[in-house]
Amino acid sequence: MELYDLSVHEMSDLIKSKKISSVELTQVILDRIKKVDGEIGSYITVLEESAIKRAREVQDKIDKGETNSPLAGIPVAFKDNICTEGIKTTCASKMLDNFIPPYNATVSHKLFLEDTVLVGKLNMDEFAMGGSTENSFHKLTKNPWDTKRVPGGSSGGAAASVAAGLAAFALGSDTGGSIRQPASFCGVVGMKPTYGAVSRYGLVAFASSLDQIGPISKNVSDCALILNAITGYDLNDSTSANVNYPDYTKSLQNDVKGLKIGIPKEYITQGINDEVKKAVLDGVKVLENLGAKCEEFSLPITEYAIPAYYLISSAEASSNLARYDGIKYGFRAEKFTDLSDLYRQTRSEGFGTEVKRRIMLGTYALSSGYYDEYYNKALQVRTLIKKGFSDAFEKYDAVLGPTAPTTAYKIGEKSEDPLEMYLGDIYTASVNIAGLPGLSIPCGMDSNNLPIGMQIIGKPFDESTLLRIGYTFEKNTEFHKNRAKI
């Protein structure tokens, strides 16, 4: 196995045993980016010079015994909506194409304190709006398993970079499935933590009550290491939860005996691909054989998750994106007649089609004549979805199902039908609506040799149980060891 294909744990062990240096490892990743990313398109910005400089500084600390972080010297990349001081953060939009943040996001700061090496910023759907990474102003990102197919979205660049060995791990953001769905499509591990567990300070907002930063990695053990680094209370984020956060690596136990896992009937009957269904149910059998008690139950509110999600997220996007007016920062139209025309021209030229679509939907839903009929109704459905999961967790330790109803589809296949693409979030969006943690892990391959993801959903702040289930599944299967041949 090549160096770039190793897990974070394996890379860290090699650095600590002085078999390789952080500089050598970083150069391997940068060389891999030069060789492969022209075909994949996962990066918007590659920080070659500063990454090597940073790797030298970190290696010096390692040699002097000044750092013992398991992430020290490990090359990482961030989705391009996570602020990095002095480094362009574009959200894959013309509107922010020249934006250089004057500060670091909390997660950026925390990972720099862990002595990671930032190698670049990753492509995404514009302002995180999309499920295929086809909505970027900059470029198209392709799936490393089949470059004729999408990597998923909106964190498609992040998932593709990890799957193709272009980063040891990545940080993405998840508003309705934007970490878990691309992780499923690209055959890697993706975690959406509990809302409030990871600070959103410095994450460019799409829908503030749904957005959550999380890790994308090659296996569950790496996911636990990254969670240890990025979770925690943050005074800069008013929605940050001041609770006790555990050492997530202690949950890496090869044992699911006695755990009760519920499988919603609606997750394996509605619009799911037959191969995806079989792989997930085979995964259930693996856990049952290892001592978990798995049973079907009904979660009927599932069918309302997509309309509720798109109303809530679009309404919040309409509000959050109002700040991009050509006055304060970002893109400004060159030709305009007065202030109103400046706003109109700037937003018309600066935003892409999908972003405009969601702003219009959200503005309509918030308008005085329709607020109660649409937005308020969506909030009521949100309460019902939260109650549905709360009732389920009175009986089960976790809920399990597919991450996405299909494997990766062909580029352009759904771009003309946004409603069909939106349905790809059917199993993931309700997790954001309820503020729950969700973990996607590889559980099989389809007949086209494309990865299939299995999603495990947990109680609020119970990421440990998800990691325990995911780790046990990995220890008894080989799917996480598959690598894209590119």
| pLDDT tens-digit series, residues 201-214 | 999 999 999 999 99
Nearest alpha carbon to residue 84 among 107, 98, 101, 97? 101
Q: What is the pLDDT of residue 144?
A: 98
Residues belonging to the chain: 486
Is there a contact between 197 and 233 (Cβ–Cβ < 8 Å)? Answer: no
Q: What is the pLDDT of residue 139?
A: 97
The answer to whether residue 349 scores a pLDDT higher than 90 is yes
Would you please indicate which residues are annotated as catalytic (active-site) residues?
79, 154, 178
Q: Strand 117-122 and strand 43-46: pairing? A: antiparallel
Tens digit of each residue's pLDDT (9 = 90 or more) over 76-134: 999 999 999 999 999 999 999 999 999 999 999 999 999 999 999 999 999 999 999 99
Rounded CA separation 65/84 (Å): 27
Nearest alpha carbon to residue 328 among 342, 317, 338, 348? 342
Domain ranges of the chain: 3-260+395-481
Nearest alpha carbon to residue 73 among 12, 17, 7? 12
Rounded CA separation 120/260 (Å): 41
Sequence-ordered list of residues with C-beta below 8 angstroms from that of 271, at least 6 positions apart, any chain: 405, 423, 426
Confidence tier at 296 by pLDDT (50, 70, 90): very high
Window from 149-163, 343-357, 418-432, 453-467 with minimum mean pLDDT: 418-432
Average pLDDT over the chain reads: 97
Rounded CA separation 45/101 (Å): 14
Query: Which tokens is 112 given?
Result: 């720099």
What percent of the chain clears pLDDT 70, i.e. is strictly above it?
Answer: 100
Tens digit of each residue's pLDDT (9 = 90 or more) over 4-41: 999 999 999 999 999 999 999 999 999 999 999 999 99
Q: What is the pLDDT of residue 130?
A: 96
Strand partners, 451: 445
The answer to whether residue 419 scores a pLDDT higher than 80 is no
Is there a contact between 443 and 454 (Cβ–Cβ < 8 Å)? Answer: yes
Rounded CA separation 222/218 (Å): 7
The answer to whether residue 49 scores a pLDDT higher than 80 is yes
Query: Which tokens is 378 given?
Result: 């969506």
The answer to whether residue 355 scores a pLDDT higher than 80 is yes
Is there a contact between 214 and 171 (Cβ–Cβ < 8 Å)? Answer: yes
Query: Which tokens is 281 given?
Result: 């149910």
Tens digit of each residue's pLDDT (9 = 90 or more) over 450-481: 999 999 999 999 999 999 999 999 999 999 99
CATH of domain 3-260+395-481: 3.90.1300.10
Q: How far apart are the first and last CA of the chain?
A: 13
How many CA atoms lie within 13 Å of 89's alpha carbon, on the beta-carbon side?
Answer: 24
- Mean pLDDT for the stretch of residues 304-328: 96
Angle formed by the axes of helices 22-40 and 48-63, to 10°? 150
Q: What is the pLDDT of residue 293?
A: 98
Query: Which tokens is 95 given?
Result: 């509107």
